[in-house]
Homo-oligomer: A and B are copies of this chain.
Amino acid sequence: MKSYLVYTILLLILGTLFSFTEKDPIEKQATWIWYPGDYEIWLSNKMQARRTERGAFLPPLWRYYSPYALVTFRKEIDLPEDDEIEIKTEGDFKLQIDGDLVHGRPKKLAIPAGKHSIVIKVYNQEAVPSVYIKGKHLRTDASWKVTFEDKEWIDETGKASDQSGTFWEAVGSWNFDSAESLPSEFRLETTPQYAVEVKEAGDGILVDYGKETFGYVKFHGLRGAGKVSLYYGESEAEAMDKEFCETLDHLEFDGSQEEDYQLEGSMAYRYVQIQHDPTISFDSVSMMYEYLPVTYRGEFRSSDDLLNEIWDVSAYTMHLNTREFFLDGIKRDRWIWSGDAYQSYLMNYYLFFDNPSVTRTLLALRGKEPITSHLNTIMDYSFYWFIGIYDYYLYSGDEEFIKNFYPRMVSLMKFCLGRRNEEGMMEGLPGDWIFIDWADGLSKMGEVSFEQMLLARSLEAMAISANIAGDKKGEEEYGKMASDLKKKLFDVFWSEEHQAIMHQRVEGEVLDNVTRYANMFGIFFDYFSEEQKLAVKQNVLLNDDVQKITTPYMRFYELEALCAMGEQEFVLAEIRDYWGGMLELGATSFWEKYDPTESGEEHLEMYGRPYGKSLCHAWGASPIYLFGKYYLGVKPLTAGYQTYEIVPELGGLEWMEGKVPTPEGDISIFANNREIKVKADSGQGTLRFKSRSKPRSQSGNIRSLGNNAYEMDIQSGKEYLVNYRVIK
């Protein structure tokens, strides 16, 4: 008992000094662990290789990274009593306890009380080397360390050498918390779904699931030998077009199949046309809907039913695209694009607040060393990765992620900075794809202001992360680079004449071209003076002479910029028009692109293909983000919602109510023309609003800011009610 007490005290003292030392083992759950990021790389390789096009295999156009096939896990522990551990690995393993090799491959092992060094090396060429150990005290969890290179050698006498050159990192893990839940066998959840209508189609049938869905078609009572073809469609037209539908399956049965036969591959569709040989018959067709189990934590309801439907369909669109990773679109694409994922991160904070989906996607995108090109080969997409981390930290407050992956931020930034021109600006080099947006005639030549602005924000993300990772020198250097670049951005691209940021400089000359991109981002990045902001709003955002945005991708930022400028009413009208327009056309999920001037099957075309357009695209779900951040008006001011603000804006609605998720609980808001009600589960908030008469509250202290503006402190756990008069 005495020695246990001493041990406890020692632990309290040493705990902060030795990060390897287990602090409170019994409370922690055992979980499968691996080399950080490697599981995400492996799983994303697998997932992205499931894309097909008319039966052809269609893997990503960018490079794949690989997990390390051989890694060494390590744990220093002081066991207060004898322990017995259960050992399970994916791959063959070598276990050393206190430097001694354990012979055989034991599944259970007794370890005596006392201090021990546990080292387990796991080899797996096919999947990710991973380990699960569960004892009473010794358990695999996030406190373990891992290396891909343990540099352990022995000299002639059998003495082990030092490992001073070995870099030990924090392990990766997710939610594989039992010995049986093998990481390599991960599958999304499934649940049965049934057709709402089955019609005859030629010699076969057309099955309609009533809305966009994703899953495995399942035959019931399938008998006989012969061929079966499935033609999938997000639209009826697509499913009925055998020649041009984007996805299909050709199956062949020899009669030995199970009568309840489920397809191996999971597809996205609303309609399925099924044709089969007369030698084949089946009783019915259903499907197994496949999804990531996440909770809809964000909520939004208002006096406008159309907006409510838009929110619901946006949430469903977002959920369909939130899978192993954040997808861009579910039918055709099924890859991970950094620019698209960036918007999903933001929407996620107002819907699921599922951090693992963000970090999985960030890690899959980043891959590992060495970097030989931009993420997805796109310059802007490298920057969105940094900015995604900037936001992730702000919303989640997750410092561990940044500490663990800061080296990968540094190396990607080094790659980017190494590609600047003599002026210190980013300009496309061979192999760089400058994307920005799908827009007719959009020039990507020379130094594009938009790219410099993204780099500036990325450098700010680096400075913040350097601070978290304890890299003081990096913090200073990145901070200085960011402010230098911001200054240069305005020196070069700000036009007094146009009162806007110009689009580009080519061979030293700023071209007479204004686009919306840098101008919108400058607003919500808060890079403009108040005066500039107003000028940009008038001269760019609300100026129809500047080329219009046609993609929901950039529409996301345009509407955000307008909201940030207080144009909530204008934006609501746009949302009713644009998203409402899709619903009018029968959309059950939101599209990759919508042009109200098109008609009929024109809506389905894209990339020169009749059904090339994705009718379920993550970036179509942006109302979730806009409603949460700019109508319910909630956003964090410091990391992890330790402080936050609530700025409800009805934008002309009679009333609205909803919830915004935070790391610990939710923030609930109700507002109409006369009342605002808020309640938060944690953090320190500030409610800001305008009122045309003096507002009143019995639950809090309202401070007047002048000019009809007021604010009030919001403490967690308490309900607040404010009586006010909205300014119309």
CB pair B61–A68 under 8 Å, yes or no, is no
CB pair B158–A55 under 8 Å, yes or no, is no
CB pair A433–B161 under 8 Å, yes or no, is yes
**Known A-B contacts A57-B123, A92-B49, A125-B45; A156 and B607 likewise in contact (beta carbons under 8 Å):** yes
Closest residue of chain B to A70 (Cβ to Cβ) is B64
A377 on the interface (CB 8 Å rule)? yes
CB pair B153–A59 under 8 Å, yes or no, is no
Which of the listed residues A42, A46, A69, A369 has the most CB atoms from chain B within 10 Å of its own CB? A69
Closest residue of chain B to A167 (Cβ to Cβ) is B372
Minimal beta-carbon separation of A540 from chain B (angstroms): 23
Minimal beta-carbon separation of A147 from chain B (angstroms): 9
The interface residues of chain B lying within 8 Å CB-to-CB of A606 are: 156
The interface residues of chain B lying within 8 Å CB-to-CB of A5 are: none
**Known A-B contacts A45-B70, A68-B66, A165-B373; A153 and B61 likewise in contact (beta carbons under 8 Å):** yes
A253 on the interface (CB 8 Å rule)? no
CB pair B63–A66 under 8 Å, yes or no, is no
**Known A-B contacts A165-B432, A370-B369, A433-B153; A63 and B68 likewise in contact (beta carbons under 8 Å):** yes
Of the residues B54, B377, B608, contact of A153 by C-beta under 8 Å: B377
Task: Tell me the chain A residues, 76-114 only, with Cβ under 8 Å from chain B.
Answer: 92-95, 101-105
Which of the listed residues A123, A156, A429, A606 has the most CB atoms from chain B within 10 Å of its own CB? A156
CB pair B104–A431 under 8 Å, yes or no, is no
CB pair A55–B105 under 8 Å, yes or no, is yes
CB pair B67–A66 under 8 Å, yes or no, is yes
Task: Tell me the chain A residues, 111-133 only, with Cβ under 8 Å from chain B.
Answer: 121, 123, 125-127
**Known A-B contacts A55-B104, A93-B57, A370-B369; A151 and B62 likewise in contact (beta carbons under 8 Å):** yes
Give the docked Cα–Cα distance between A99 and B105 (Å): 51
CB pair B92–A57 under 8 Å, yes or no, is yes
Give the docked Cα–Cα distance between A58 and B154 (Å): 14
CB pair B94–A56 under 8 Å, yes or no, is yes
Could you say how many copies of this chain the assembly holds? 2
CB pair A56–B125 under 8 Å, yes or no, is no
CB pair A64–B68 under 8 Å, yes or no, is yes
A599 on the interface (CB 8 Å rule)? no
**Known A-B contacts A92-B49, A103-B54; A61 and B373 likewise in contact (beta carbons under 8 Å):** no
- Is chain A's interface secondary structure helix, strand, loop, or mixed overall? loop
Task: Tell me the chain A residues, 9-57 only, with Cβ under 8 Å from chain B.
Answer: 42, 45-46, 49, 53-57
CB pair A158–B609 under 8 Å, yes or no, is yes
A438 on the interface (CB 8 Å rule)? yes
A149 on the interface (CB 8 Å rule)? yes
Give the docked Cα–Cα distance between A246 and B559 (Å): 71
A150 on the interface (CB 8 Å rule)? yes
A707 on the interface (CB 8 Å rule)? no
Minimal beta-carbon separation of A161 from chain B (angstroms): 7
Give the docked Cα–Cα distance between A64 and B71 (Å): 8
Which of the listed residues A57, A104, A378 has the most CB atoms from chain B within 10 Å of its own CB? A57
A152 on the interface (CB 8 Å rule)? yes
Interface string of A369-400 (1 = CB under 8 A from B): 11011000110000000000000000000000
Of the residues B42, B57, B61, contact of A152 by C-beta under 8 Å: B61
Give the docked Cα–Cα distance between A681 and B168 (Å): 56
The interface residues of chain B lying within 8 Å CB-to-CB of A54 are: 103-104
The interface residues of chain B lying within 8 Å CB-to-CB of A651 are: none
Of the residues B49, B56, B150, B158, contact of A104 by C-beta under 8 Å: B56
A257 on the interface (CB 8 Å rule)? no
With A57-B105, A164-B430 given, name 14 new contacts (CB 8 A).
Answer: A45-B123, A45-B125, A46-B125, A49-B92, A55-B105, A63-B148, A63-B149, A64-B69, A149-B373, A149-B377, A151-B373, A156-B606, A158-B607, A164-B431
User: Could you list 29 A-B pairs, sorted by A, with CB under 8 Å?
Assistant: A45-B69, A45-B70, A46-B125, A49-B123, A53-B101, A53-B103, A55-B103, A55-B104, A56-B94, A56-B102, A56-B105, A57-B93, A57-B105, A58-B94, A59-B70, A59-B94, A61-B150, A61-B152, A62-B151, A64-B70, A125-B126, A125-B127, A149-B377, A151-B431, A153-B377, A157-B607, A161-B433, A165-B432, A369-B370
